[in-house]
Amino acid sequence: MDLGLSGKTAVVAGGSRGCGRGISEVLAAEGAAVVFSGHQRGPVTATETALLAAGGKTVRVVADMTTREGALAMKVPHLEDPMSAVNIRVAVNAVMKTLAQEYGPFGIAANVIATGPFDSELSRDYRASDPGVKTEKWYRAMLPAGRWGNPVEMGWLAAFLCSERAAFLTGETIRLDGGYGKSLF
């Protein structure tokens, strides 16, 4: 599907593995030049090679985004953010609401993708790290979709959100979790 992203530039922090790579792949396939980062040179190089082989345009940055130097290498506003991802979800949503208000007049949309269980190297490593961790079988039983998400599915949603077809969608949190979340908000 042509989402009109050709000639656009997309920035994907953590875009060399898992869901970030899925997003990078789809955005590149849609014609966007993808600037992506990762803190491990091997996955960054592998992702760049794959994107270029598929005809994509990329700029790779090997940087640990949790450090000041890494953030400066990527040029993002969150230079010193030591909190874990779980603890900043509310803040991220609030920031997106603020960004939507401030940058909407310039045609810039700001949305959050709230994720559930996705099959990625990171999630497989996490499950393998501790026998007490909830198993893939447990998650599958808890997911109305009956399976884990594929990182490329995250990419499809991100590409849509970056497109003109979603130009009126801004300041929102969109759950992409296979039905895992049970709350209304």
Predicted local confidence at residue 81, as pLDDT: 39
The superfamily in CATH containing domain 9-176 is: NAD(P)-binding Rossmann-like Domain (3.40.50.720)
Predicted local confidence at residue 88, as pLDDT: 61
Predicted local confidence at residue 57, as pLDDT: 86
Q: How many CB atoms lie within 10 A of CB 37?
A: 25
Residue-averaged pLDDT of the chain: 83
* Domain boundaries along the sequence of the chain: 9-176
Strand 33-38 with 57-62, pairing: parallel
* Mean pLDDT across 95-99: 90
* Mean pLDDT across 81-88: 49
* Mean pLDDT across 44-55: 91
pLDDT tens digits, 114-123: 888 888 887 8
Query: pLDDT confidence of 71, banded at 50, 70, 90?
Result: low
- Residue whose C-alpha is closest to residue 23's, from 155, 151, 120, 114: 155
Per DSSP, the three-state class of 102 is helix
d(CA 185, CA 178): 15
